[in-house]
Structure 1
C-alpha cells in the first residue's frame, strides 16, 4: 500500500512517469489507487496535465479518495527511488496473483503445464524478453541481397577511434580510464560535443566538477580560448577572441548538453533524470557520460569495495541496455602505473579491475608521454583501446591542446595551439 502511494505520488510530481512505468491498472491492489492510476493514464493519453485539480474535476472525487487523499500522496513522492517502489509494488502484486492462480488451479484442477505457464507469466509483467529463432532469422533472411545503411553509433569526433569502434554503440558500457591530468575530462567533453552536434542528447553526470567549470571548459575548447585567459575574459581575451565569443557560445548551445552536477548520485537517480530528459527531448537518442566511477554512490552499504564497484558496473551496463544508448564512465587508474618504466596503462591498473573488465564492452586508456617527459612540444594523446567486445583493439593517436582542452585528429591541423 505504501509502495503504491509512493508510485502515485511520484507520478503526480513527474507526469512522464505515468507512461514510462509500463504499469497496468490491475497491478494496484487498492481499489482507490487503481482508480487514480486509471484516471492519470486517461489524462496522460489526452495530453492533459496530471495534477490534483485535473484529477478531481475530471472524475468523481469519491472514487479517488477525495482531495485530502490525493494531497497526501504528494508526501510519499520520492522520484529518485521510483524504480525501487515500483519493484516493491510489483512483488506484492506477484505474490497476490500467485495465491489467486494456485487457488483457481486447485478449484478447477489445472494440469501442471498450465500452472507453470501462468506462474511464469507473472515475471513477464513489464517487458517481454523472449524471441524465437525463426522470427529472428526472418528479419535477416534477405540481408545479403539488399543494400542497407550501416548504422554507426554516437561519434567521438575522432576519425580513427570511430572507425575502430564504429562509434559508441547502443546498449554498451564504455570505460574511459587514465591517471590524473591525462585529459579524461577534456576527452569526455569532446565526445559530448561531437555526439551533440550529430543529433544525440549528451547527458553528463558530473560527480566531481561543478557545472560552471564544465561550461567554461566547453567554451575554451570550442572557441580555442586558453583556460588561463578564461579566468578573466574581459581583461585577458583579445579583441579578436572576443569577436569569436558569441559564435562559440552559439555553436556550443546546439549540442543540447544536459549536466547534472550533484555529488554522490546513485544509479537510480541517474536513471530517473535520464528518463526525464528523454521525455523533454523526444526524438533525441541519449548518450550518458559519468565522471567518474568511484564517486557513484552505492545503494547498498557495502563495506567490500570490490563488491560495491561490481554492483555499480553491472547497474551501468543494465542502464545502457534499458535505455538502448551508450553509457560512458570515466575511471581512475591505480598508482601501480607510476612504478613501471613503460607507464602505459594495463587492464590490471584499473581499480577493482575484475568487475570493470567483466562488465565493460569497451575499455579505453588515456596516455600522454609528455606528462612524464615534460616535453612541451609533444602534444600527442594516445587512446589505447584495450578491450573492444565487438571490434579490434589498438592505439589511436590524437593531438591534445592542454591549454584549451581541445582534442583533435592528429593528421588534421594537429599543431594548433591557444593564443
Structure 2
C-alpha cells in the first residue's frame, strides 16, 4: 500500500488546514495601488476622488504608501505633482531606492488605466486594508485568549475586542461628507413641523418637570446633558425622576397610538445597585418612606400600596445596569445592543467620575481621562441619536464660599465637561446648608439671644423648606436660568413647585 493510501486522521487534516491558513498572504492588491498612483501622477484631479478616505498607511506596499504621502503633501500645498516635479524629491529622499529607483515612476505610469477608475481603485485599496486590520485584531484576540494578556480576564478581553472592532469601524474612513443646504433645510422643517403639531411646549422627550420642559423644550436627541451637584443635593433622585418620567411617557405614547413600544430608557447606576434604585422609585410612587422599607417598618396598608405600585411599574421600558466602574466601550456596546433590540430613547449615567475610559487606553492624567469619557458619552449621544444625561460631582471649593450655589468652574476636572456638554445643570438645596447652621445654645451668652437666633433660623427654614433649585448654567440651544423645584426628602423625590395656583 502506498503512503498516500493511508487514511488521514481528522487531527492531521485540521493541522493541514491550519498550516495552509497560516501560509496565506494578507489581502492586498498591488496592481490597484500602482494604477491609482499612476492615475494621480497623470492627472492630479484623480487625488480628489480618494483624498477624503484614503491614507498612506492603507497601502499594503510600504513604498506605494510613501509615494502617495509625498504626492499628497505636494498637492495639498497647491503644487503640481507629476513625474517631472516628483522625480527630484524621490531621488533626494531615496523613497524609490528599494523599488529600483526613478524607473519605478515609469512603471506606475504604465500601470495607469484611467483617472475615471481612481475612486474604485482607492476603495479596493482601502477594503484590503480593513481586511488586514481584521486579521490583526483576530490574531490579538487569539493570543490574548491563550494568555498573552494575563492582566485581562475573559470579560475584559471581550470588551477589548469589541473596542478594537469599534475603533476600526469608526476610523476606517469618514463615510460622511457635505450635505446640501437644501437637504439640511428639509430636515429642519420636518423637526419644526413635528413640534408644531405636538401639543404643549415639549418638542423632545419629557423630563417630567413642567418648568424645566418649558425652558428646554424637553430632552433632545444627540445632546449630552451634565447634571451636577454636591453630595446630598439629590442628583440621583432628580436623574431617577427624569428617567422614570421619560419611560412613563414612552409607554403612554405607545398605548395612545396603539403601537408596539419602540423606545426605552437605559440607566447606568455605578454607585447604587439596581435593587436600591428600584426601591427608591417604588418609594416615590407608593409614597412609602424608603427608610421604612429598608427597616421593614411598614404596615399592611403601606405594603399593599408598595405591591400595587410595583405591578404598575413592571411594564415600564426602564433598564438598569449597575456594573461598577464600567468602561466607556462596554457602555457603548450595551447601548447599541439595547437600541437594536428594544429601541433606545434616553441614557442616564450616575455618575461619570466612576467610569473608566475605553479598554486599552491609558490617559496621562485624571483630567485627560475625564475628557475621554465625556467625549465618548457625546459620541454615544450622536451615534444613537439619543439624549445622554451624565451626573457629575462638584469640587469642594463650593463649601468655602458664602453663597454655595454652584458655578461652571466648580465642575470637577471641569474643562472638558463644560466644553463637551450641550447643557449643564446644577441641583442646589439651600435647606441642606441652612439645616447645618441651626443655632446651638452654647454659642450664646444669654437664653434670650439664643431664642432670637432660633426664631430667625426657623423663619429662614420655612422659606426654603421642601424647595430646590435647578440652575441651568449652560444651554447651547436655549436660555439659561433657574428652575424652582419641589423636593420631598421623605420619599427623595422632585416635582413641580406650584407657587401660583389657578
Q: TM-score, normalised by structure 1?
A: 0.70
Report whether the alignment pairs 1:364 with 2:415.
no
Q: CA deviation at 1:361?
A: 0.5
Distance 1:145 1:190 in 2: 29
Contact 2:329 2:357 in 1 (8 A): no
Q: CA deviation at 1:255?
A: 2.3
- Could you say if the C-alpha distance between residues 107 and 355 of structure 1 is closer, same or farther in structure 2, counting changes exceeding 3 Å? closer
Q: 1:206 aligns with which of 262, 269, 281?
A: 269
- Could you say if the C-alpha distance between residues 228 and 100 of structure 1 is closer, same or farther in structure 2, counting changes exceeding 3 Å? farther
Task: Please say which structure displays the higher CA radius of gyration.
Answer: 2
Q: Secondary structure at the match of 2:468?
A: strand
Q: Secondary structure at the match of 1:181?
A: coil
- Could you say if the C-alpha distance between residues 198 and 141 of structure 1 is closer, same or farther in structure 2, counting changes exceeding 3 Å? closer
Q: 1:183 aligns with which of 225, 234, 239?
A: 234
- Could you say if the C-alpha distance between residues 149 and 129 of structure 1 is closer, same or farther in structure 2, counting changes exceeding 3 Å? farther
Q: 1:136 aligns with which of 184, 191, 195?
A: 184
Q: 2:284 aligns with which of 198, 208, 221?
A: 221
Distance 1:265 1:142 in 2: 37
Q: Can you list the C-alpha shifts for 1:9-56, whole angstroms capped at 9, x where unaligned?
A: xxxxxxxxxxxxxxxxxxxxxxxxxxxxxxxxxxxxxxxxxxxxxxxx
Q: CA deviation at 1:111?
A: 2.4
Counterpart of 2:319? 258
Contact 1:101 1:115 in 2 (8 A): no
348-357 or 295-304: which moved more? 295-304
167-176 or 285-294: which moved more? 285-294
Match runs of 1:44-193 below 5 Å = 101-106=32-37, 111-122=43-54, 127-137=175-185, 148-149=196-197, 152-193=203-244
**Aligned length in residues:** 322
- Could you say if the C-alpha distance between residues 295 and 139 of structure 1 is closer, same or farther in structure 2, counting changes exceeding 3 Å? closer
Counterpart of 1:305? 366
Counterpart of 2:479? 392
Q: 2:496 aligns with which of 409, 415, 419?
A: 409
Contact 1:189 1:218 in 2 (8 A): yes
- Could you say if the C-alpha distance between residues 104 and 167 of structure 1 is closer, same or farther in structure 2, counting changes exceeding 3 Å? same
Contact 2:52 2:174 in 1 (8 A): no
Structure with the higher helix share, 1 or 2: 2
Q: Secondary structure at the match of 1:128?
A: coil
- Structure 1 unmatched runs, 5+: 1-64, 71-91, 415-419
Distance 2:492 2:193 in 1: 46
Q: Secondary structure at the match of 1:169?
A: coil
Contact 1:169 1:326 in 2 (8 A): yes
Q: Can you list the C-alpha shifts for 1:212-263, whole angstroms capped at 9, x where unaligned?
A: 1111111111111101111144xx2222222222221122223221111111
Q: CA deviation at 1:116?
A: 3.1
- Could you say if the C-alpha distance between residues 240 and 169 of structure 1 is closer, same or farther in structure 2, counting changes exceeding 3 Å? same
Counterpart of 1:45? none
Distance 1:327 1:146 in 2: 22
Q: TM-score, normalised by structure 2?
A: 0.59
Counterpart of 2:353? 294
- Note the aligned Cα RMSD (angstroms): 3.2
Q: CA deviation at 1:155?
A: 1.4
Q: Can you list the C-alpha shifts for 1:326-384, whole angstroms capped at 9, x where unaligned?
A: 00100011111111111000111111111111110000001001111117751101110
Q: Can you list the C-alpha shifts for 1:164-202, whole angstroms capped at 9, x where unaligned?
A: 111111000000000001001111110110000111411
Distance 2:382 2:193 in 1: 30
Counterpart of 1:56? none
Distance 2:194 2:274 in 1: 47
- Could you say if the C-alpha distance between residues 252 and 342 of structure 1 is closer, same or farther in structure 2, counting changes exceeding 3 Å? same
- Could you say if the C-alpha distance between residues 359 and 305 of structure 1 is closer, same or farther in structure 2, counting changes exceeding 3 Å? same
Q: Secondary structure at the match of 2:472?
A: strand
Distance 2:331 2:190 in 1: 40
Distance 1:366 1:184 in 2: 7
Distance 2:210 2:306 in 1: 27
Report whether the alignment pairs 1:231 with 2:294.
yes
Q: 1:383 aligns with which of 467, 470, 474?
A: 470
Which runs of at least 4 in structure 1 moved beyond 6 Å after TM superposition? 141-147
- Could you say if the C-alpha distance between residues 413 and 201 of structure 1 is closer, same or farther in structure 2, counting changes exceeding 3 Å? farther
Distance 2:279 2:17 in 1: 47
Report whether the alignment pairs 1:346 with 2:414.
no
Distance 1:159 1:146 in 2: 20
Contact 2:226 2:421 in 1 (8 A): yes
Distance 1:104 1:238 in 2: 83
- Could you say if the C-alpha distance between residues 129 and 247 of structure 1 is closer, same or farther in structure 2, counting changes exceeding 3 Å? farther
